[in-house]
């Protein structure tokens, strides 16, 4: 057991992955000498050298496109996109190449590429630094998409993502980088592509991932005080979805709420609502409700607290689903 | 840039590190336009004659001094928690004032997030820039009235906008409008973005009236210029079929002359120019950055000797074009400006929550109108609650 | 009344828009001298000149990025993306600039840009020529997204999109370009952002857009023979959605099926299922079911008929929703 | 390229049309490497000496003739409805065979969708290329075994892959592997894509062992080269800091020599090279295209005089290095090849529907496994139905 911040857990996970496999290479803007703007790669260039921790030119398509070539040569690139809002110059390479090459080559060219993206708001940043683009990637077959919510998952899931033979878009809740928790470096972690019940409950099933898991747990805590029993599930994997535990839960509770920061329309909540409704139709006492960002341009930071789902908005919708 | 020996040492093991490095400081000569030496000596350049009045010289000094004062105040406000972040222009005042003052009223400028000096030259209220970094808005000025686009944070994206705008100028000209040009700002790091290179290609193909003004401040956050290019950036333009020129970015006179010439060339239909203003980011990338992690203090000391304001001050005083009273007056004006910025910042009202719903579309959708209504209803629910 | 193919209706709509407004400019690859690979811009460069019908360099980011600048200068660019699969190099400009500039400038910089994208499969093409990327754009606030299904809508909706002060991503069902129908050039068209009941029915509400509208109508026809009464709604607008007519219908039928070519996961069907379930929960006899592309990489053309929803697959799911 | 007067006329009104146009045909001299004139004269080039045996010359001719025969057969098959589409290499045989034959077994090639000649040189079974255009698969060959990547249809995307692969070579070399190089193919149109320019930047920054082989066939579908660049494409490389060279793309000897030299340079750690092979697309862009809409017949006639195969044939026969029997044998071999391709195409089995589920991921997901199962179940439902 060691206590780590989420950021440090990612750093340790990267270090472990690099020690375990000499083919693991880190690429990104400012990740070497600086250690990354969030210091997630701190110290790694010093210890593994510039050939394995590559400070790249300022071009996201270049980062992903050259990672594809490195993967073809047998490497396992781990690419850092500096902020969520800056993944789009690489979108063409991710969607038309990274996601398709395994199928195009019928398995002859695996793409074991990990794309790390710090995502979400709440840090008072300027434009493009607080986006939640995960649905774009979950809608893209050929990619696997995960989001971590706590230090232990950060440590283990990052290593699992790097070891995964398929491309993984790895979302990191940037506003939780500084959250601390105990990490058992010897445990056997659950599979990468699995969701997990993080709080048991009977009245409502509350689904979250990434930064919103903490918010969901706080909401459940507050609701408990009012005698409401909320079951909280950390989805962890966004593509593929692991809805087994969700369906088991919803069949008991009959009520389901999904929360995420991303804009509500066509966010992950839409897909989950559609699937859960199909699989649990006769158990549902109310429609699956969503708490997400409003369908507006991410606002200037003075307004982000009003834009982002928080404890109150979650409880507000929980009340709606209970009262339906 | 000066790759300090220690950083060199780190750099060597990387594949490709054999490649040539940039000169510590480009000498003068055709490849480096300079009209005012670091020591404040006025030198001539055959291609870029500049005949300038003493008044103009003094007003250039005033601009340089005032934007630095603004910048210092903004940094202080950020430290005191009044701004979320601040991107300092320290060291780049001459590049920005020189370029900004070269613009005509009909020209349109496309800044990055660091062009406070150009904003100043375009008469943008500093508080309208401050409000962005405070998180009140995404840019408070009127880009149409000021002919100064909103800051573009996505590296390089504005270069295509400037080129398209220039294509619009060409089409208006066909409809006999006054000739104008677009001025796109970019950094050395931005030159690696595909979109920026596309802008150069489009500008060449359509011979668009656009000037690309690249402030090579030697760094893209922590990445030294060698990360982006092994040869001087201005040379890239020739490969796309138009002229590139490297100017001393810490020499406001040279920047003014070179940018004026390029804009004139664009307006008269002779096509684009790429200007590399060779300068140095004397401060951190932003207030969130810690440059000590990636560069050595010695480098900064060296560049202090090339300070853009000091050299003009030296020239003005030595030549007797300005006296102590003048400099004192500018300092006083700077303090007033700083006080006004501080007061305006502290008194800046927070935006209303409904703001975020009101500008997504020119024609608002029912969806967003409905979300706006439920937003108000939801918050009305808290009325009276303590919070 | 004139009989036009869908492609020719688009061509006529573009011509009309250019005649009505000198600020309308067409930009794209091969749209001038060649008239576009599908000939949608046939003859327009000859008649309006190279300054208004611009053959661009081969760079989609360049097309959209310069269109932004032209819009800032007061023009109304209409950009052609040659095929659905080639919009991704422009994704950064579309998502971070086109979609955000109006909000960034608080209305001072409107972005009246139309982005035409021929989309969908069924033409036996090679990789990247048969994609359905509409959900990426519908998930991006700041854009309006529409899809046309017939010549009359093609003619009118394209003019409405160009006249719209907001950016519109305009999807054209490439496999229907050659379909003919009567177009009334004097009618007053319905609003751009409205859906429409195209066949009345009582048992099931079937939703489609673009190329699948024809398929849905054929399915309804076939079902009628078996005594099943299917109401078919052409969504027309994908963002914002116009679900008024859908909800009215579902409250009567109690059953709803959505069909599209795009991969099912996080396709438009997900959002529609989530919203319709929320608004019609007590009227629903069965969950909203989706017929979409499988969640796989678009297959080589010999397999696309098995990949794409067709009459049989639609009826198969209609039977499922009836039997639920 | 030759901008025919009429096309010129159309082009003039466009803003920017003032810009310079490319020469009708670059003369020889340092800027245009040629070892075999269109008339079949062997000429020397100081920088690119090529000493080549008669056997090699004949085998080059054989390759040129056979890939053209393959191409003709594929076009016929498409016309007969056996292929969905075909992208003809007609006129570009020398560029592709010259480049393909310059590759060593350790090198990796990254083609576009038109490099059938390079595929041939890499021993790819023509039927594995045909199967892609027939719609049976997305490329039937083993890219790892053949050291020939699958065709990349998204313009330019492969240039970054090649550069990344070359960065991998550098890292393996550190682990003492045999030196190798990557060869990226691209067209003239592709040079306008941002990603391609990023590839040039990365290659320069990391001095990666990659060679960019640009076939300037004068058109990007209907867009003449002036749409992409107002200056010769090879000149772009210098702006990024590495050498560019223009070679007669219809001269297999010159292409072979120039590409060999560039690959050797890359392997020995001296960094990237950009090669512009100046050639002409003698056919339509693809079988779906109608070039009469955008170019004049005269242009084609002019280029026929520079035919890549005719000039080698002239050289071989005039110099007595090959006799009638040899040419007859090659023709016969061509007919056999064509017959084999035709037979193989007609007998090609359609892929199984389940194929589409089986290669999305290396580790298939439960979601896709479930969809595969329901797909089978659904189709089982039709068993016995007439359809
Ligand atoms: C597309 C994109 N990628 C990454 C970033 C994060 N970022 C902000 S500034 C910066 C460095 C820019 O360097 P340069 O172009 O030299 O401009 P400077 O900051 O030196 O003025 C980076 C990488 C961004 N804003 N946009
Ligand atoms: C990103 C992208 N945009 C558009 C296309 C459509 N397209 C296919 S080939 C082509 C022209 C390519 O020209 P060039 O690079 O000169 O290669 P060539 O076909 O002449 O060999 C275009 C525009 C594409 N395949 N990819
Ligand atoms: Mg910089
Ligand atoms: Mg070409």
What's the pLDDT tens digit per position in A131-163? Answer: 999 999 999 999 999 999 999 999 999 999 999
Half-sphere exposure of D120 (CA within 13 A, CB side): 25
Is a pLDDT exceeding 60 seen at residue A293?
A: yes
Is a pLDDT exceeding 80 seen at residue C98?
A: yes
Is a pLDDT exceeding 50 seen at residue B11?
A: no
pLDDT of the residue at A163: 98
Alpha-carbon distance of A295 to A291, in angstroms, equals 11
In D179-205, which positions are buried (b, 16+ CB within 10 angstroms) versus exposed (e)? Answer: bbbbbbbbbbbbbbbbbbbbbbbbbbb
| Nearest ligand 1 atom to alpha carbon B154 | 26
User: Which residues line the pocket of ligand 1, CB cutoff 6 A?
Assistant: A 29, 58, 60, 82, 86, 89; B 114, 153-155, 187-190, 217, 219-221, 281, 285
Strand partners, B219: B224
Is a pLDDT exceeding 90 seen at residue B288?
A: yes
A270 → closest Cβ in C85, C91, C266: C266
Taking the CA of B289 as reference, the closest ligand is: 1
Is a pLDDT exceeding 70 seen at residue A164?
A: yes
B160 → closest Cβ in C66, C106, C241: C66
Q: Are C138 and C271 in contact (CB under 8 A)?
A: yes
Q: Are D104 and D264 in contact (CB under 8 A)?
A: no
pLDDT band at B6 (very low <50, low <70, confident <90, very high): very low
pLDDT of the residue at B20: 35
Is a pLDDT exceeding 50 seen at residue B168?
A: yes
Alpha-carbon distance of C145 to B256, in angstroms, equals 45
Q: Are A52 and A26 in contact (CB under 8 A)?
A: yes
Is a pLDDT exceeding 80 seen at residue D20?
A: no
- Does residue B370 sit at the C interface (CB-CB below 8 Å)? no
Cβ of D357 and C294 within 8 Å?
yes
pLDDT in tens, C101-126: 999 999 999 999 999 999 999 999 99
**What is the residue-wise DSSP string for D63-108?**
HHHHHHHHHHHHHHHHHTTSSS-----TT-HHHHHHHHHH--TT-E
Strand partners, A258: A207, A290
For ligand 1, the distance from its centroid to the CA atom of residue B247, given in whole angstroms, is 22
* Mean pLDDT computed over every residue of chain A: 98
Full-model pTM? 0.96
Question: Around Cβ D13, how many Cβ atoms within 10 Å?
Answer: 11
Classify A169 as helix, strand or coil. Answer: strand
In this structure, the residue with its CA closest to atom 20 of ligand 1 is: B220
Alpha-carbon distance of C25 to C36, in angstroms, equals 15
Question: Around Cβ B10, how many Cβ atoms within 10 Å?
Answer: 17
CA C158-C198-C307 angle, to 5 degrees, is 80
Cβ of A62 and D360 within 8 Å?
no
The reply to whether omega before D261 is within 30° of 0 (cis) is: no
Sheet holding C204-208, edge to edge: C196-199, C230-234, C204-208, C256-263, C289-293
Cβ of D239 and B231 within 8 Å?
yes
State the virtual CA torsion across A199, A202, A205, A209 in degrees, nearest 10: 0
For ligand 2, the distance from its centroid to the CA atom of residue A109, given in whole angstroms, is 24
Identify from A274, A304, A317 which residue to disrupt to test chain C contact, counting C C-beta atoms within 10 A and taking the largest count: A274
pLDDT of the residue at D11: 32
Count the residues in chain D.
Answer: 387
Of D140, D93, D98, D82, the residue nearest D116 (C-alpha) = D93
* Mean pLDDT computed over every residue of chain B: 92
**Closest chain C CA to residue D381:** C316
pLDDT of the residue at D25: 60
Greater confidence (D24 vs D381) lies with D381
pLDDT band at B22 (very low <50, low <70, confident <90, very high): very low
- Does residue C195 sit at the B interface (CB-CB below 8 Å)? no
pLDDT of the residue at C163: 98
User: In terms of DSSP H, where are the helices of chain B?
Assistant: 5-11, 54-79, 93-102, 116-121, 126-134, 143-146, 157-174, 194-205, 236-240, 252-267, 297-304, 308-318, 324-346, 355-358, 366-380
Is a pLDDT exceeding 60 seen at residue D30?
A: yes
pLDDT band at D18 (very low <50, low <70, confident <90, very high): very low
Question: Around Cβ B79, how many Cβ atoms within 10 Å?
Answer: 11
The torsion angles phi and psi of B222, rounded to 5 degrees, stand at -95, -10
| Nearest ligand 1 atom to alpha carbon A30 | 23
Smallest CA–CA distance, residue B311 to chain A, in Å, is: 33
- Does residue A2 sit at the D interface (CB-CB below 8 Å)? no
pLDDT of the residue at B9: 30
Alpha-carbon distance of B350 to A303, in angstroms, equals 9
Is a pLDDT exceeding 70 seen at residue B147?
A: yes
User: In terms of DSSP H, where are the helices of C164-227?
Assistant: 212-225
Q: Which two tokens stand for residue A286?
A: 């109310």
pLDDT in tens, B38-61: 999 999 999 999 999 999 999 999
- Does residue C102 sit at the B interface (CB-CB below 8 Å)? yes
pLDDT of the residue at B197: 98
User: What residues of chain A lie within 8 A of the CB of B375, using their CB?
Assistant: 294, 306
pLDDT of the residue at D173: 81
Q: Is the dihedral of CA C42, C43, C46, C51 positive or negative?
A: negative
pLDDT in tens, B316-373: 999 999 999 999 999 999 999 999 999 999 999 999 999 999 999 999 999 999 999 9
pLDDT of the residue at D174: 72
Q: CA of C272: how far to CAs of A107, B219, C230, C268, C313, in Å?
A: 35, 48, 18, 6, 19
Strand partners, B247: B33, B277
The reply to whether omega before B222 is within 30° of 0 (cis) is: no
Cβ of B201 and C62 within 8 Å?
yes
pLDDT in tens, B196-230: 999 999 999 999 999 999 999 999 999 999 999 99
For ligand 4, the distance from its centroid to the CA atom of residue D317, given in whole angstroms, is 32
* Cβ-based neighbours of D49, under 8 Å, separated by 6 or more: D257
Of D169, D235, D238, D241, the residue nearest D202 (C-alpha) = D241
In D92-128, which positions are buried (b, 16+ CB within 10 angstroms) versus exposed (e)? Answer: bbbbbbbbbbbbeeebbbbbbbbbbbbbbbbebbbbb
* Cβ-based neighbours of C218, under 8 Å, separated by 6 or more: C311
Q: Are C220 and C198 in contact (CB under 8 A)?
A: no
Between B150-154, D176-180, D183-187, the lowest mean confidence (pLDDT) is in: D176-180
- Does residue D80 sit at the C interface (CB-CB below 8 Å)? no
The torsion angles phi and psi of A254, rounded to 5 degrees, stand at 75, 0
Cβ of D231 and B208 within 8 Å?
no
Q: Which two tokens stand for residue B122?
A: 């375009």
Alpha-carbon distance of D222 to C57, in angstroms, equals 11
Classify D154 as helix, strand or coil. Answer: coil
Is a pLDDT exceeding 50 seen at residue D13?
A: no
**Closest chain D CA to residue C50:** D14
| Nearest ligand 1 atom to alpha carbon B114 | 21
Is a pLDDT exceeding 90 seen at residue D383?
A: no
Cβ of B171 and C108 within 8 Å?
no
Mean pLDDT of A226-241: 98
Smallest CA–CA distance, residue D286 to chain B, in Å, is: 25
pLDDT band at B383 (very low <50, low <70, confident <90, very high): confident
Is a pLDDT exceeding 90 seen at residue B7?
A: no
pLDDT of the residue at C7: 98
pLDDT in tens, A32-62: 999 999 999 999 999 999 999 999 999 999 9
| Nearest ligand 1 atom to alpha carbon A29 | 23
Alpha-carbon distance of B269 to D15, in angstroms, equals 9
Alpha-carbon distance of B247 to B251, in angstroms, equals 8
């Amino acid at each position: 057991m060691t206590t780590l911040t989420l950021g440090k857990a990612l750093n340790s996970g990267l270090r472990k992955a690099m020690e375990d496999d000499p083919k693991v290479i880190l690429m990104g803007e400012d990740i070497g000498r600086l250690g990354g703007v969030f210091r997630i790669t701190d110290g790694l260039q010093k210890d593994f050298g510039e050939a394995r921790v590559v400070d790249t030119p300022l071009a996201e398509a270049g980062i992903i496109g050259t990672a594809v070539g490195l993967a073809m040569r047998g490497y396992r690139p781990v690419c850092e996109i500096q902020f969520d809002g800056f993944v789009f110059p690489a979108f063409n390479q991710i969607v038309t190449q990274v996601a398709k090459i395994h199928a195009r080559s019928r398995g002859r060219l695996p793409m074991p590429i990990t794309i790390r993206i710090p995502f979400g708001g709440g840090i008072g940043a300027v434009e493009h630094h607080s986006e939640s683009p995960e649905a774009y990637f979950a809608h893209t077959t050929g990619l696997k998409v995960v989001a971590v919510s706590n230090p232990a998952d950060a440590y283990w899931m990052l290593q699992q993502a790097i070891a995964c033979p398929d491309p993984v878009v790895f979302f990191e809740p940037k506003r939780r980088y500084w959250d601390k928790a105990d990490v058992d470096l010897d445990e056997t972690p659950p599979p990468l592509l699995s969701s997990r019940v993080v709080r048991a409950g009977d009245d409502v099933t509350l689904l979250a991932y990434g930064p919103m898991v903490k918010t969901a747990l706080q909401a459940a805590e507050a609701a408990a005080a009012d005698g409401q029993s909320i079951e909280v599930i950390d989805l962890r994997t966004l593509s593929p979805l692991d809805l087994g535990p969700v369906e088991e839960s919803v069949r008991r509770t009959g009520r389901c709420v999904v929360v995420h920061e991303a804009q509500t329309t066509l966010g992950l909540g839409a897909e989950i609502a559609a699937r859960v409704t199909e699989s649990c139709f006769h158990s549902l006492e109310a429609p699956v409700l969503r708490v997400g960002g409003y369908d507006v341009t991410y606002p200037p930071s003075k307004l982000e607290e009003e834009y982002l789902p928080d404890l109150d908005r979650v409880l507000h919708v929980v009340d709606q689903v209970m009262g339906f | 840039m000066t790759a300090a020996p220690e950083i060199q040492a780190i750099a060597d093991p990387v594949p490709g590190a054999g490649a040539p490095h940039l000169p510590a400081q480009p000498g003068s000569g055709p490849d480096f336009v300079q009209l005012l030496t670091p020591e404040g000596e006025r030198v001539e350049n055959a291609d870029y004659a500049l005949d300038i009045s003493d008044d103009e010289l003094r007003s250039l000094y005033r601009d340089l001094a005032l934007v630095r004062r603004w910048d210092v105040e903004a940094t202080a406000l950020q430290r005191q928690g009044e701004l979320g972040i601040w991107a300092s222009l320290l060291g780049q005042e001459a590049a920005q004032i020189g370029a900004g003052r070269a613009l005509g009223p009909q020209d349109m400028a496309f800044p990055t997030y660091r062009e406070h000096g150009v904003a100043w030259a375009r008469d943008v209220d500093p508080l309208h820039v401050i409000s962005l970094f405070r998180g009140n808005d995404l840019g408070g000025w009127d880009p149409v009235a000021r002919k100064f686009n909103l800051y573009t944070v996505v590296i390089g994206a504005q270069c295509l906008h400037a080129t398209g705008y220039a294509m619009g100028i060409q089409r208006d000209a066909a409809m006999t409008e006054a000739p104008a040009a677009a001025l796109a700002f970019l950094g050395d790091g931005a030159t690696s973005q595909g979109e920026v290179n596309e802008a150069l290609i489009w500008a060449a193909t359509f011979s668009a009236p656009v000037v690309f003004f690249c402030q090579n401040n030697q760094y893209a956050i922590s990445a030294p210029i060698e990360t982006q290019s092994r040869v001087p950036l201005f040379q890239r333009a020739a490969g796309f079929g138009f002229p590139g020129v490297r100017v001393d970015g810490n020499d406001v006179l040279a920047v003014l002359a070179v940018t004026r010439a390029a804009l004139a060339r664009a307006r008269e239909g002779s096509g684009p120019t790429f200007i590399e203003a060779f300068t140095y980011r004397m401060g951190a990338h932003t207030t969130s950055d810690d440059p000590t992690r990636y560069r050595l203090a010695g480098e900064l000391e060296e560049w202090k000797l090339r300070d853009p304001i000091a050299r003009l001050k030296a020239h003005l005083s030595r030549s007797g074009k300005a006296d102590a009273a003048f400099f004192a007056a500018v300092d006083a004006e700077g303090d007033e400006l700083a006080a006004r910025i501080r007061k305006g910042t502290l008194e800046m009202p927070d935006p209303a929550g409904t703001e975020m719903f009101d500008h997504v579309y020119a024609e608002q959708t029912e969806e967003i109108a409905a979300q706006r209504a439920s937003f108000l209803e939801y918050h009305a629910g808290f009325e009276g609650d303590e919070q």
